[in-house]
Structures are given as C-alpha cells and as structure tokens.
Structure 1
Amino acid sequence: MKFLGELDEASLGRTQRCNRRLTDRNRLQAIRDTQLMDTPQEEAFDRLARLAAQLLDVPLTIMSLVDADRQFFKADFGLPSPFKETRTLPIDASLCRYTLEGEPIISSNAPADPFLKFHPSTGPWGIVALIVLPLINPDGHVLGTFCCIQPTVREWSSRDLTVMKELTESIMTEINLRDQVQKLKAEQNLRETFVAALTHDLRTPLTASKLSVQLLGRRHADLPSVQTSVARVSASLDRAERMIQNLLDASRIKAGKRVALELVECDLHAVTAQALDELAAVYPERFVLKAEGLFQMKADPLGLRRIVENLASNAAKYGAPGTPIEVRLERNGSQVMLQVRNQGTPIAADELQTIFEPFHRTRSATESAEKGWGLGLPLVRGLAESHGGKATVTSSAEEGTCFTITLPLDATSQQRLSA
C-alpha cells in the first residue's frame, strides 16, 4: 500500500520486512490451522476484549487475524460500523500487518509518529493512541494482533502495557489449547483407524488358522497325539483372539468410550468359579473362593469373566509365589462386590494413581519376567464402569494388594444411559 508521505529509512525497512512475512506459506498455514478465520464471534475471545476495554478505559479493543488478503476481526469491544457487520478490512488498509516481524506498535500520539502519521487508516479510524501487540504462536509465526485504541493523546503506563501483554498471552493460550485439542483428536482418530485395521487384518489369518486346525482334528480324530497338538494350537489361537479384543477395547477406553456389553441374566458366583477352575490348571492350589448369598445379576457374563480372569491371573503372576489368593463375593442391597486379594510386595503409592491407565505397567511388573501390554487393569475398570460400577485398589505390606470391583445387580439402566 502507499503511505501518504515519505517514510524514513527505519520505517521503510519495517514495511518491507513485514510485507515479505505477509505471504509466508508457513505463517498462512498456521492461521488456517487455528480454524478461526471467518468464524462467528466467541465469548472466550470477546470476554478478553471487554476486559481490556474496562481495565484500560478505552473505547475500542480488537483481536484480529491477518492473512495475505485481509484482516479479520475475530473479537472486539466497540467496533464501529460498517466493520462491526463485515468484520473484515482489506489488507492494504491494515495497520496490523506491520507487526508480522513480531514487533508491537505502540504510540501515544499517532499523528505525530514518524511512521504512523503517514498511514491512511489513522485519520478515518480516529486512531490517536494505540497499543498493537502481535499474536505469536509457539513456532514464531504472527497470526494477528490484539490492540486497544484511544481517539485522544494518551501516555500509556507500564500497567497499561502489562495488562495488554497478559491478555494477549491469554488469547494465545486459548488458541494453543485449541490447537492441542485438535491434534489430540486427530491422533485419536488415527489410532482408532490403525487399531481397527490392525485387528481386522489379524483376525482374518486367525480365523483361517482355526478352521484349518479344526479340520485337522476331525481328519485325525483317532490319533491322540494330533488331538493334543490341535488342542494346544486352538488354545493359543483363542488367546491371540482375546488379545485382539483386549486391544480393541483398550482403544475404546482410551478414547473415552464404554466397552460394549451383552446383558443377560447370569450368576456371578458361577462365572467366577468357572474362571478360577480354568486358571487353576496354570496356577494350581492358589485360589480360595469365598462367597455368601445369591449373586444373580443382569450383566454381561463374558465381561464378568474377563474381570475375574485379569484380576486373578495378575494376582498369581505378581503376588508372592505359593501364597493363597483370596477371591471374595459379597452382596450389599442392589450391588455386588468382587474382591481379589494377594500377598507380596505392595504397589507403590504413586503408581496406585495410574494403575488403571491403558498401557501402564507398574515398576514391579516391568522388572518381572512376566510379559504384558498393560491392558488388563484398564479393561477391568472399563468393564466395571460399562456396567455402572467402579474399580478400586489398595495395597500395603500388612494387608496385601486388594482390587475391589463394585457392580449393580442390574446394569440395564447404565447401558441405556451410555447408548
């Protein structure tokens, strides 16, 4: 744009440097990434514009974004017509474009300023005193400005400058937080897509392998050695399938979603006893089941089984070798409680806070010979919460480590709420 007079060398150099920044592709991409251009006013930003006007006692404050073609007014206090309606200003009429090097524009008397006095917007806008601070993102790109304007001469105090700087930082904090949220959502979508694709691709060969093993078993039904091998391979394939389901469910839990359940009438006592009987083949003479009363529930029996299996197998793997593992069922009104307690080295207090987080493993688990993904306990909590219950843990040298699962007798209402 043409100034209404000849600029001195310093002012001319500033305009040239900022003009080069105006069309910088990385800067323009950073503005697009904010997703704020051409969007309606938002209270989060308008509140800061109002606050600046009140604290500095000025009639006009504006938050702008400056791209290659125009200045867009995202938030304001006291913006006059027609700009109040159009919310844009052609780039040739923009004063804010001259902050694109990261330098503010601060003046107590623009008509007397060697740079500002020649800018054609100062007269029509009634700009006399002004503070224009650049909005700079973490990569150093200037997205726009936050400014306050006074139509009379005013000496800005250090307090005035501090207020504007702090509010400008608040604007950038809001923008940066939104950027992080957008990146997290993109990462979450990518992770979910990856996990879905991975598990789909894994299940296809698993299904083919299971069919082949079953066919082999039928063809050689009279050979005990073949049947033993078929059973061993089938069990391994079933375990791999459960691991895939665990990965899918862990991904859902990490995304803040509930695990899908199939609710039917079932008996928690029977489910628990069957799960412990099967685990006893791997960990003989370890589990002691204590149950009193009836435990008929409206729940997902497979989900209940996964809770018992994960807690009981963890207790066997990481508890003191050879010590009994107590599994207790109790009923209290409309709720049931499942507890799994083992003896051994207690879990550190700081790790109790994160033990149910996906892919987290305690130090003792990491240092042990037992391998794992850190999915078992997050699944336990996810399954409990999907039923409308909760999972907690306590651990001490005196009392041992005790995981407690509290569940409603009827999870129907919870499933209706989360549907």
Structure 2
Amino acid sequence: MTTEMNRALEQRVLVLAPIGRDALVTRDVLARAGIVAEPCASLAEVCAKFEEGAGALLLAEEALTVSGLALLSRAVGAQAPWSDVPIIISTGAGETTAARVRAVSSLEPSGNVTILERPVRVFTMITAVQSALRGRARQLQMRDLHFQVQRQMEALTAERELRARFVSLLAHDLRGPVSAAMLAAQVLLRLPERLDPRRELGVRIKRNLDRIEHMVRDILDASRVQAGQPLPLRLEACELKTIIADVVEELNLLHADRVRLDAVEEVHGIWSADELRRAVWNLATNGIKYGAPHAPVTIAIRRVEGRARISVHNEGAPLSPDDRRRLFEPFARARSAEASIQVGWGLGLTLVRGCVEAHGGQVSVESGVEEGTTFTIEVPLDARPFQPRAFSPEALDPPSTVVAGAR
C-alpha cells in the first residue's frame, strides 16, 4: 500500500448510523465541508476498517450493542502507544441511557470519547469532527517524528557497530606490517657495521610501510566517497589495455594464472591510470576470493560508443538482490563474504564506485546462478569535464593524438 493510500485511510471518518439514511446524509454533509467520511454497516465493519486506519469515528448511540462495544473496546485498546483515535458518539437528548453508560464506561479507559446530544446542529457536528481530525493529525505528526528518530537511532547504532568492526579490522591489519617493519629495523640496528645484509631488511621495511600507506590511502578515499566528495584524480593520456595487462600480470603471479584478459583492441583515453588500476584490482581480487575456487576470472575491455567498458566476471554463488543494492556502500559486504573465512574491510567496492564516478562513469553488477557475477565499469574516453580542477594539461599528449587513438 502506498504512502498516499495510507494517508487517505488515516484521515477518513468512519460513520455508523444504522437508522434510515442517517449515515449517507452525514457522509454528504461532511463531504461539503471537505471531510472524507465512510459509512459502515456494523461495529464489526467499523473495527475492521479502524485497524486499516482512521482519523475519527462518528457513531450513533443506537448502534452500540454489547457485543459490538466489546469488539470496539479491544480494537481501541490495541492501538499503538502514540495513537488515540477520537471517537464521537451522537446520543439522544434527555436522561442518560443504558447504552450511553455502556459506551462511555467501555471506551473511556483507553478511548478518546466525545458525546454529542441530538438534535445536533450541522455546524456543531462539523466543528466537532474537524477538531477531532486536528487532534488526530497531531498524533500522526508525533508518530512520524517518533519513527524518524527511531530510524536515526538505528542508523547511528549500525554506524557505531561498523566503526567498531572497522577499528578492530584496521588494528589487526596494521599490526602485521608494523610488527614486520619494527622487527626488521631492530635487527638492522643490531648488525655489526662490517656486515651489510641491511639492504634486504630495508626492502622488507619499505614493503611493509608501503602496505600501511596503501591501507591509509584506502581509508581516506573511502571517507571521501562516503562524504559525497569526488576522488582527486591525476589525469593523463593512457591506453586501457596496457593498464589492465599490468594488473593481470601481477595477479597471475600471486594467484597461479587465474586471471584472463579479453581485449581485442587498444582503447585510448584521458584517465587516472592509478585509479583505474586500483578499481580493476579490487574487482578482480574479489572475484578470486569469493568466486568459484580455481575458476578463472575474466577481465574484458571494449570501446562502446565513445566510452570505455571494463567487465570483470567470475563464476560461483550469485549475489542476492539485497547484496547488489548495498555492495558499493562503505563497509558493506555480501552475506557470502561475511560467512566465508576471507577477512575484509568492505571498502574495495566503495573505492571502485568512487573511482568510476570521479571519471564521470557508472559501475553496475549482474549476478545469477547460471551466468555467475559480472561487475561492469563504463567511463567516458575523456574524464576532464568531470573533474576539471584535477586536470593538468601538461600531463597530456596533444589532444589530436588522444582523439586519433580513441577512434
């Protein structure tokens, strides 16, 4: 049910007047005042529609049977804590009747009851109903505010949990390279000056400090993406096939030739080679870690209508629709990744999205049982219009060279 339909139900007046055409006449009178009224045939129908939503109830005393009042009392008592739907009962003039006593005693403990004695002037009835609806509108505003605050609290709680998990993972991942670098430095300091295996130790220190630098860079860039800020790019004229071939070569050294390159032509453009390399690396390593074991990961490159397209495909268990919707958010990981033994921060795909959007492109994912999972990046051949302040003309070949290569 749409929000508009819910609002309409919450603003209607349910009318129960069983004698003659009273209910229809009441509906028409209220309609002329701009109030939507809905006649009901019994208290059971009133209760059923009350649970769907109502702004107020307008009931005739004659309809208040013992069994019907019991139903209505239960429905009124079952309202949410914020809800107190106004109930207007029209009664006969004169002494208090048994039906009136039953109604008030049944509904007063949990109900918001107003008594109107007949004959009721039209103006009096309309103002009573309008007053009831204004009170109901304030209740609904408080409800919406309550739910808004509740959603914000849930979001804050989720963010707090993500931060705690992130800090834990960060501490774990930084401890390794820092410890290795410190150990190498300590050994280096203890060596006699005449011995010189220091170069190898220096290489180890440099390698581990590089890992730390990459982690910090990823964290800072993911924070930029989360804040809606574009990643700063160093744009240059480059060729995509060469960039991706380097990534494939490095990955195959680490993962026993599991990555294949499908590139039928060179694709020239103006991009940040480093950022595209990082994006493809993240997608390919995800395919290796979470795809079918030993199955190849294929990276395909195409030029399509003035754009460069990179697709990274792996076989294996598909991503659920919910995972596909949230994968590019910071710290988000697929359920299969959470259940696996693979440790991750959930930043890789956020960085992919940030890189692609900074180039003026889009990233998408398709996944199914038969076809596997494919991430697709599309970027324009010239990223300069999408981040002009990061563009350095001195870094480029003459524009004619780039355009000719991109044809």
TM score, norm. by length of structure 2: 0.54
Deviates more, 1:323-332 or 1:235-244: 235-244
**Which consecutive unaligned segments of at least 5 residues does structure 2 have?**
1-31, 36-81, 87-122, 165-174, 392-407
**Match of 2:383, as an amino acid?**
A
Cα distance 1:363–1:276, how it changes in 2: closer, same or farther (>3 A)?
Answer: same
**Match of 1:267, as an amino acid?**
E
CA RMSD of aligned residues (A): 5.2
Cα distance 1:186–1:295, how it changes in 2: closer, same or farther (>3 A)?
Answer: same
Structure of greater Rg: 2
2:253 to 272, 276, 281: 281
Q: Secondary structure at the match of 2:387?
A: helix
Q: Secondary structure at the match of 1:385?
A: helix
Cα distance 1:55–1:316, how it changes in 2: closer, same or farther (>3 A)?
Answer: farther
1:232 to 200, 204, 208: 204
Aligned-partner Cα distance in 2 for 1:157–1:409: 67
Cα distance 1:292–1:217, how it changes in 2: closer, same or farther (>3 A)?
Answer: farther
Residue 287 of structure 2: aligned partner: 315
Residue 361 of structure 1: aligned partner: 333
Task: For 1:75-86, list aligned pairs within 5 A.
Answer: none
1:411 to 383, 387, 399: 383
Residue 164 of structure 1: aligned partner: 134
Q: Assess if the C-alpha contact under 8 Å between 2:184 and 2:204 holds in 1.
A: no
**Match of 1:163, as an amino acid?**
L
Aligned-partner Cα distance in 2 for 1:158–1:287: 75
Q: Assess if the C-alpha contact under 8 Å between 2:177 and 2:212 holds in 1.
A: no
Residue 234 of structure 2: aligned partner: 262
Cα distance 1:180–1:387, how it changes in 2: closer, same or farther (>3 A)?
Answer: farther
1:271 to 243, 248, 255: 243
Q: Assess if the C-alpha contact under 8 Å between 1:56 and 1:160 holds in 2.
A: no
**Match of 1:411, as an amino acid?**
A
Q: Secondary structure at the match of 1:317?
A: helix
**Match of 2:300, as an amino acid?**
R
Cα distance 1:410–1:212, how it changes in 2: closer, same or farther (>3 A)?
Answer: farther
TM-superposed CA distance for 1:345, in Å, is 2.0
1:392 to 336, 341, 364: 364
Task: For 1:104-183, list aligned pairs within 5 A.
Answer: 154-155=124-125, 159-169=129-139, 171-172=141-142
Residue 16 of structure 2: aligned partner: none
TM-superposed CA distance for 1:181, in Å, is 9.9
The reply on whether 1:340 has 2:312 as its aligned counterpart is yes
TM-superposed CA distance for 1:227, in Å, is 3.8
Residue 131 of structure 1: aligned partner: none
**Match of 1:385, as an amino acid?**
E
Q: Assess if the C-alpha contact under 8 Å between 2:366 and 2:373 holds in 1.
A: yes
Cα distance 1:344–1:211, how it changes in 2: closer, same or farther (>3 A)?
Answer: closer
Percent of residue pairs bearing the same amino acid type: 33
Aligned-partner Cα distance in 2 for 1:359–1:186: 14
Aligned-partner Cα distance in 1 for 2:360–2:188: 44
Deviates more, 1:171-180 or 1:307-316: 171-180
Q: Assess if the C-alpha contact under 8 Å between 1:328 and 1:339 holds in 2.
A: yes
* 1:105-148 Cα distance to aligned partner (Å, 9 max, x none): x9xxxxxxxxxxxxxxxxxxxxxxxxxxxxxxxxxxxxxxxxxx
Task: For 1:14-163, list aligned pairs within 5 A.
Answer: 154-155=124-125, 159-163=129-133
TM-superposed CA distance for 1:224, in Å, is 8.4
Q: Assess if the C-alpha contact under 8 Å between 2:259 and 2:299 holds in 1.
A: yes
Q: Assess if the C-alpha contact under 8 Å between 1:336 and 1:406 holds in 2.
A: yes
**Match of 1:383, as an amino acid?**
C
**Match of 2:224, as an amino acid?**
R
**Match of 2:365, as an amino acid?**
V
Residue 292 of structure 1: aligned partner: 264
TM-superposed CA distance for 1:164, in Å, is 0.9
**Match of 2:306, as an amino acid?**
S
TM score, norm. by length of structure 1: 0.53
**Which consecutive unaligned segments of at least 5 residues does structure 1 have?**
1-53, 58-101, 107-152, 195-204
Residue 72 of structure 1: aligned partner: none
TM-superposed CA distance for 1:414, in Å, is 1.6
TM-superposed CA distance for 1:330, in Å, is 0.4
Aligned-partner Cα distance in 1 for 2:370–2:231: 35
Residue 48 of structure 1: aligned partner: none
Q: Secondary structure at the match of 2:276?
A: helix
TM-superposed CA distance for 1:373, in Å, is 0.8
TM-superposed CA distance for 1:292, in Å, is 2.2
Q: Assess if the C-alpha contact under 8 Å between 2:178 and 2:209 holds in 1.
A: no
**Match of 1:313, as an amino acid?**
T
Name the one with the larger helix percent.
Answer: 2
Aligned-partner Cα distance in 2 for 1:295–1:224: 47
Aligned-partner Cα distance in 1 for 2:238–2:246: 13
